[in-house]
Structure 1
Amino acid sequence: MLSAAFVVLIALADFVASALLTDASQLKKDNYDFVIVGAGAAGNALASRLTENPSFSVLVIEAGVTDEGVVGIEVPFLAPTNTPMTAVSWNFTTVPQTSLDNRILTYPRGRVLGGSSSINFLVYTRGSNEEYDRWAELTGDPGWQWSNVEQFYLKSSRLVPPSSGRSTAGMVNPADHGFGPVEVSLPGFPSEIDNRIIDTAKQSNGLFPFSLDLQSGNALGVSLPQNAVGNGTRSSSATAYLRPVLNRSNLDVLIQTTVTRLINTSGAKEKPSFKKVEFAANSTAKRSTVTASKEVILSAGAIGTPQILMLSGVGDEKALKTLGINTLVNLPDVGQNLQDHPIMSNYFFVNSNNTFDNVLRNTSILNADLALWMENHTGLFSDGPANGVAFLRMPSNSSAIKEFGDPTAGPLSAHIELVFADGFAATTTPQPPTGQFLTINSAVVSPTSRGSVTLNSSDPFVFPNIDPNFFATTFDQQVMLQAVKFSRQFVQAQPWAGFVQNRTGPVGDAETDDDIIAASRQAIVTIFHPTSTARMSPVGANFGVVDPDLLLKGADGLRVVDASIFPIIPAAHTVAPTYIVAERAAELIKEAWS
């Protein structure tokens, strides 16, 4: 996160409605072919693809505001200003994390057009081919194999030049990219650590292998970050998918409206059919309904989707009964299997006067950089906050893997991610008033810990209980320990000589393995990648929430399309896989209703 000075920029948001509807009374009708709940990464992609058919009518309902004019969203470098308690986040918190010394963590999710694709930190990775082959194996559906979903990756995003127009030869492979609406680019303005990162990889004799392109199918290696940025501006599902189609006559988008539940429209003795959506502007407002003649598509994310399902009578019968909710479909897996990537910061003092620490402390420098971005979308603010990424595996002789097995999708998939920043990237520790810093964020990207989302109340305006259950397994603890060791080993390489000085921060003083793990408990936060709370499973399986075609088990009329359906979390930033899911879902829906 950035300094408090940046958070003020959120107040610059101009919540204009544009072509959007802001009240139920503005709806043209009360029946649409498709009603999409949530205008996040998946929901907006679906809205765009389904309305390509002029005979389909589509309504999107989004709880949040428009993303237009929100400076913290549009300016890539300011991405961290969106994740404290802000007007564009749900502002969730977790239950006390047992394995993190009972700390309660903030758990931001996007409450704005674009959802979390509008507030994430922009790094774009699809993961290895193995990730999707594993999905196919876990669901019994070969349609999820990489050979079958590659088309949807290519259809969702495309490589564009950096904002500065500088050459990226030797830093990316255009052949690994597609032709879709989401724009992906490398940083336009090199930092002082870029060459050090790449040189360390190339000189490491394979310990930290250089990757020309992490989108190649081999998801291991060190590279400059590819960000969801085009022309120096964030490229989200709102800007890439939704905004270009808002003028379509068969699309309505209703914002600032919360879906409170889905209503069964079938007879008492018939299979439940959830084709009616109830919603309201706030907790005291009158509730309205709208009907989908074909399907309701739930795209409310890994927190919102299970909450809405449970409020609608879909979930564990015993748990729902305690809240007075009548169970219509007994699916105990709803809200279970929550998976996320725990991350924490490793800090180093550096011998430099050019880190972005100066920007975070000096309002004059901040305003100058912002003015430059406002003028032509260039300069420091046109790039995301990350300066390098590394996806790495545990050592081949790892005792943790020997004892617990390998949870990755295969040998081309990572256990660990390192994210480099040329300055003090504040997470649990505020930026010091003096000094220049390097941050290496370390994350466990194939976690074995599992958490849950459960109802706290039958009131849809009361937040659910969110328990990512971070750091709960010995394996995850051993992976984070190795990640810290890798980060320290990385900066001991020759390219960092004379630049990196001593360690600092919560983990900096920890020397023994036990000390590092203990310090990690006080430093870990979320990387904002919750998944799998409505996971796919094979047709006929007595576990899971949706079938491989994303239709709700035991019911009609309802499909779930978002990161909640991931059968297992990929070792990747989750927005690109979510676009792949949405693109495939759009094809499945078109085929079903052609």
Structure 2
Amino acid sequence: METFDYVIIGAGSAGSVLTNRLSEDAGTKVCVLEAGPSDWHPYIHLPAGFIKTFHMKSVNWGYQQEVGPYTGGRSIYAPRGKTLGGSSSINGHIYNRGQRQDFDTWAQLGNHGWGYPDVLPYFRRMERRVGEGDDTYRGRDGNLTVTTMDWQDPLCEAFMNGAVSLGIPRNPDYNGQIQEGVSYCQRTIQNGLRVSAATAYLHPARKRPNVDVRTHAHVTGIIFEGKRAVGVRYNRGGKYGDPLEIRVNKEVILSGGAYNSPQVLQLSGVGAPDLLQSHGIEVRHALPGVGEGLQDHYAPRSVARVKNIRTINEMRRGLSLWVEALKWATTRRGLLSLSPTMVYCFWHSGETTESSDLQLTFTPASYKEGVQGQLEDEPGMTVASWQQRPESRGYVRIRSADPFQAPIIQTNYLAEELDRRVVVAGMKLARRLLASEPLKPYFAYEDFPGPKVQSDAEILAAVTERGTTTFHPGCTCRMGPAEAPWAVVDDQLRVHGMEGLRVIDASIMPRMISANLNASTLMIADKASDMIRGKTPETAAQLAEYA
């Protein structure tokens, strides 16, 4: 039987980083199992291709969430990457780290070495920041290229000026010392092409003779001897492919993401005993926190009709689209080089005393109601708004013992009253921004939620009718001390009570961060690679505010 030192389940953001770092040791054999195909498809590399990969079954798990109490009876679509690079190959390529208090909270929950001064050196190590930024906070020599949106648009400028008119300052670098303010977004794009985790980490590592990357390898379970993980079962070629096994000398590393990592653990007999037994699965290790605590950002999108200027809605069809295609082919610029949003705004809801708790995005475009990923025909602009640190939690649980059946995903959006208050405050701020003086030359009228929607109750009803995921699931295999009933892994990301098994991806976040998750997921994996290799951690950042 084949044997490797490490088997990594999932070649997504975390798995790609781990493959690269662990294989730096030439004597270490690393195997990576990815359920999806290679990342060859042109839509993956074309920045605007996200609008296609959003629904492309060949590279997307295409999950559906369960109906929640505040989703208006809707089952919300939950795309996740199923290809080399994982969701970093199909996402909106936004780079957003979060606030320092996010990581300080992780440390305060009993996770030694995960405070902001501890993680900042890894953010710096992994990034190659091109553009503005204080080198106290930004990296220049890493694998991951981070640029700033360079598509200047009058609507974007008017929106940012509108934010300033409301007292929200411009911030040249929201990934620097402070997040609050408004600015063009930062993204993982280089020379008009996506920089995924596969591009930055996995493909360079594949050139090494000690790396074996296997696509179309759907993991069906982890093999245990007692409490030690000793191998992995998988089907090569999907459900009807050949069942195979591989063994490990050192560790199995689970990097399937917030939905798939708990599913694999539960299928392998690690989780809540009642759940496992109800599906006829032998309990290998009772760990009730597996799959519990799911969090995600829930975003309603305010839409206004536009006058006196063209928006992306009109530019993406007919002759205009051909002109844009030619522009991208010759200069790697223009419409096809764009991300799903252009401007980020971080501000306060007034509902909490913390730092900014609202994240808003501005796009000079609008999408068809109920058809995510399809632009409208008439001119429009959109402000999405969401609570950065939601209180509501849900779960991920196996639906059956069949490893090819999608898990139950219940996010419980807005279940907590505070979440409802903050999201209503976000909609009110979005309305003020769209109606601000600098946008008046272009603002025709508010289309959604519409001028008749005024009371908090009416706004909340609109939120439940049209809100959706921002594609940021986490917290389903949470990091915490052994005595915490919800904890799945310790601060070395080792599964509690097990040997030779770690979980390393966004699922280990003990609490949701105030950001998109890809940047922090990459950081988690980079930091974890030092733990696995027994290397001395990067020296904690010496910051005046922590002196």
The TM-score by the shorter chain falls in which range?
over 0.9
Which residue matches 1:418? 360
> Are the equivalent residues in 2 in contact too, given 1:507–1:523 (CA < 8 A)?
no
- Does 1:588 pair with 2:544? no
Aligned to 1:89: 60
| Pairing of 1:317-332 with structure 2 (within 5 A) | 317-332=273-288
2:507 aligned with 1:551:
no
Equivalence map 1:220-259=2 (5 Å): 220-259=180-219
Which among 86, 94, 97 is matched to residue 115 of structure 1?
86
Is residue 561–residue 582 contact of structure 1 (8 Å, CA) maintained in 2? yes
Q: Which residue of 2 aligns with 1:312?
A: 268
Matched, 1:263 2:223: yes
Q: Map of 1:304-383 to 2, 5 A cutoff?
A: 304-360=260-316, 362-383=317-338
- Distance in 1, Cα, partners of 2:454 & 2:421: 15
Give the Å deviation of 1:95: 1.3
Question: For residue 230 of structure 2, what is the aligned residue in structure 1?
Answer: 275
Match of 1:199 among 144, 155, 161: 161
Q: Kindly indicate whether residue 452 of structure 2 is the aligned counterpart of residue 491 of structure 1.
A: no
Matched to 1:579, the amino acid is L
Quick one: distance in 2 between partners of 1:41 and 1:352?
42
Aligned residue number for residue 479 of structure 1: 422
Which one-letter code corresponds to 1:40 in the other structure? Answer: G
After superposing the two structures, state which structure 1 stretch, 480-489 or 493-502, moved more: 493-502
Query: What is the aligned partner in structure 1 of residue 149 from structure 2?
Result: 187
Shift, 1:429, TM fit: 5.5
Distance in 2, Cα, partners of 1:257 & 1:38 = 9
RMSD: 2.0
User: Within 5 Å, which residues of 2 pair with 1:22-37?
Assistant: 30-37=2-9
1:168-217 alpha-carbon deviations (Å, 9 max, x no partner) = x7xx556542121111111222112232133233333x3x2321211113
The answer to whether residue 73 in structure 2 is matched with residue 102 in structure 1 is: yes
Deviation at 1:432, TM superposition (A): 7.7
2:390 aligned with 1:447: yes
**Deviation of 1:540 (Å):** 4.3
Distance verdict in 2 for CA 1:593–1:153, change over 3 Å? closer
Matching of residue 60 in structure 1 with residue 16 in structure 2: no
Q: How does 1:123-162 map to 2 (within 5 A)?
A: 123-141=94-112, 143-160=113-130
- Check the 8 A contact 2:392/2:412 in 1, yes or no: yes
Please give the per-residue CA displacement for 1:111-170, whole angstroms capped at 9, x wherever unaligned. 0111011111112110111111111111341x1011111111011112226xxxxxxx7x
Q: Which amino acid letter does the alignment assign opposite residue 426 of structure 2? A: A
Alpha-carbon distance in structure 1 between the residues aligned to 2:177 and 2:311: 33
- Report matched runs for 1:424-439 at 5 Å: 424-426=366-368, 428=370, 434-439=377-382
Letter in 2 for 1:419: T
Instruction: State whether residues 506 and 523 of structure 1, in contact with CA within 8 Å, keep that contact through their aligned partners in structure 2.
Output: no
Cα separation, 1, equivalents of 2:446 and 2:134: 35
Does structure 1 residue 534 correspond to structure 2 residue 504? no
| Aligned-partner residue type, residue 323 of structure 2 | A
Partner SS for 1:543: coil
Give distance in 1, aligned partners of 2:450 and 2:471: 21
Partners of 1:522 and 1:348 lie apart in 2 by 17
Amino acid at match of 1:185: T
Match of 1:10 in 2: none
Partner of 1:8: none
**1:52 match: secondary structure:** coil
What CA deviation, in whole Å up to 9, does each residue of 1:239-266 have, x standing for no partner? 1111122110010100011000001124
Contact 2:2 2:247 in 1 (8 A): yes
Distance in 1, matches of 2:7 and 2:376, equals 50
TM-score scaled to structure 2, two decimals? 0.94
Structure-1 separation of matches of 2:451 and 2:145: 37
Distance 1:147 1:433 in 2: 44
Alpha-carbon offset, residue 52 of structure 1: 0.8
Code of the aligned partner of 2:346 = F
**Contact (CA 8 Å) 2:368, 2:375: kept in 1 or not?**
no
TM-score for the superposition, normalised by structure 1? 0.86
Report if the CA contact (8 A) 1:503-1:509 is conserved. no
Aligned 8 A contact 2:313 2:375 in 1: no
Q: Which amino acid aligns with 2:283?
A: T
In structure 1, list runs of 5 or more residues that go unmatched.
1-28, 162-168, 267-271
Decide whether the 8 Å contact of 1:550 with 1:560 is kept in 2: yes
- Is the alpha carbon distance of 1:86 and 1:353 closer, same or farther for their aligned partners in structure 2, counting shifts above 3 Å? farther
Give 1:165's aligned residue. none
Mind listing any 5+ residue stretches in structure 2 that lack a counterpart? Answer: 538-547
Per-residue deviation, residues 507-566 of structure 1 (Å, max 9, x unmatched): 564222111111111101110000000000114444310011000011101011000000
Are 1:517 and 2:483 counterparts?
A: no
Q: Distance in 2 between the 1:486 and 1:117 partners?
A: 30
Report matched runs for 1:458-469 at 5 Å.
Answer: 458-469=401-412
CA contact (8 A) 1:345 1:440 kept: yes
Q: Give the conservation status (yes or no) of the 8 Å contact 2:35–2:238.
A: no
Residue correspondences, number: 534
Q: Secondary structure at the match of 1:567?
A: coil
Letter in 2 for 1:177: R
Write the distance in 2 (CA, Å) between the matches of 1:79 and 1:173: 30
- The farther-off stretch of 186-195 and 122-131 is 186-195
C-alpha distance in 1, partners of 2:204/2:369?
Answer: 35
Deviation at 1:383, TM superposition (A): 2.4
SS at match of 1:291: strand
- Greater CA drift, 49-58 or 194-203: 194-203
Partner secondary structure for residue 320 of structure 2: helix
